[in-house]
Structures are given as C-alpha cells and as structure tokens.
Amino acid sequence: MRLFRNRVEAGHKLAEALGEYADRQDVVVLGLPRGGVPVAFEIANHLHAPLDVMVVRKLGVPGEPELAMGAIAQGGVLYLNQDVIAALAISQDAIDAVTERERQELKRRERLFRGDRPPLRVGTRTAILVDDGLATGATMSAAVAALRQARAKRIGIAVPTAAADSLARLSKECDDVVCLATPDPYFAVGVWYQDFNQVSDEEVRELLDRAQQTETRTYPSTERVP
C-alpha cells in the first residue's frame, strides 16, 4: 500500500501535523540529504521557517552497504549500532576504514550543498530534523547527536513514515517526534511512496538556494555560524 504520492505530498502532510511550530522565530528546519531535503523544503515553507541541510552519512556494513552499522554527522559526531556490529562480528579495522571513507564524502557533500554559505546557528533554537522515512534510524541518531553537540534548545524529528522500533528508540533521544505512519511489517522506506525517484545533489543544492533567497527576504535576523 502506497501512503504518499511523492516527497512533496509527504512534506505537505507533515507540515499540517507540525502546525504548532508555525511562525515561530526560534524554529529552524533541517533536512537530511538527499531524500529528506525535498520533504523539509515543503515543511519550512509552510511553517515560515528557515531551512538548512544536516549532512549525515550512513556507515554501511562491509559487503552489505545498505545495512547501517552506524552513521556520522557534521561536527565530527559518530554513532555506532553496537548490536549490528556485534551480531556480524565487524572488526574495528573495518569500522575505521568505512568511517574514514564516509568522512571524506561528508566533507565533499557539505561543500557541494552549501558552497561558501555557513550552516544555520542552532544554539538556543528549536531544530526540526526531517527525513523521507526511517528504517534503522542510524543517520537520524547521528543527526540528533550533532544537534546536542551544537547545544540546540529543543530537538524535534519529523518523518512521514518509520519502523516502529526505530521511532520508539529515537523518541527517547529527542524532545518531540512527529510521524504519520508506522506500517508493520515495515520493509524499506521507498515501498510507501508511489514516486520514490532518487534525489540528485543538484536538486538538493537548488532547494537550499531557493530557501536561502526566501530567508534573506523574510528572516533577515537569522543567524549562521561564522
């Protein structure tokens, strides 16, 4: 059963569920690339809030890259899923090799998505993290840890759909969780979308540039990290 036509529709529906955050000066919306950014763009527009990207990279199991053994996020945050690592007997050398490779890719993507534009300042603000869905939740956990490190005042998670166990774990890591559906069994995120085409780097950059233009006109007092 398809729950959403595409990421734009998912963003519209999530925005309606996030109405309490609309028109607040302390709210910022952060999309996880790539798929979370189109969803976050619609939410930011609806809430009249500035948008930024939270760059996170999944650490795939060697030989099974789609299975997450952890994730890294901007700011040097590392999250490891010790249950997966123990169950598959993954060595520290293998973890280190994957982590270093993904760190280089994370830096490349930060430069690609933002250019010379610094990230939004999240300290003393309410940050809403957005993705197009949660399976293991590893990348979202890394993103939450990055916001804790940046001293965000409150951290919310907004996703159209999620695996129930991952959502339950994440609800203990942040201040608010909004999710529209937790199908059981869950399968993969893309199963719940009619159109789940891959989001390109160029599309992410374009959406962030459009959001920056709105921010400059509408939120002139928005702070960015120097």
The CATH number that applies at residue 145 is 3.40.50.2020
Per-residue tokens: 53: 């990207």
Whether 188 is in a domain gets the answer yes
Q: Greater confidence, 90 or 1?
A: 90
Range of the domain at 207: 7-53+116-218
pLDDT in tens, 61-70: 999 988 889 8
| Vertex 172 angle, CA 167 and 176, to 5° | 75
Whether 175 is in a domain gets the answer yes
- Partners of residue 53 on adjacent β-strands: 31
- With the C-alpha atoms ordered 143, 146, 150, 152, is the resulting torsion angle positive or negative? positive
Output the pTM of the full model: 0.88
Whether 80 is in a domain gets the answer no
Mean pLDDT of the chain: 91
Mean pLDDT of 164-168: 95
Whether 120 is in a domain gets the answer yes
Question: What DSSP string describes 81-128?
Answer: -HHHHHHTT--HHHHHHHHHHHHHHHHHHHHHHHTTPPPBP-BTSEEE
Whether 83 is in a domain gets the answer no
Q: What is the pLDDT of residue 214?
A: 78
Whether 199 is in a domain gets the answer yes
CA distance 54 to 158: 14
Residue 46 · residue 21 · CB < 8 Å: no
Where does the pLDDT of residue 130 fall: very low under 50, low under 70, confident under 90, or very high at 90 and above? very high
pLDDT in tens, 177-204: 999 999 999 988 999 999 999 999 999 9
Whether 25 is in a domain gets the answer yes
Q: What is the largest distance, in Å, between two alpha-carbon atoms of the chain?
A: 52
Q: What is the pLDDT of residue 155?
A: 98
Whether 103 is in a domain gets the answer no
- Partners of residue 52 on adjacent β-strands: 30
For the chain, how many structural domains are there in total?
A: 1
CA distance 117 to 41: 17
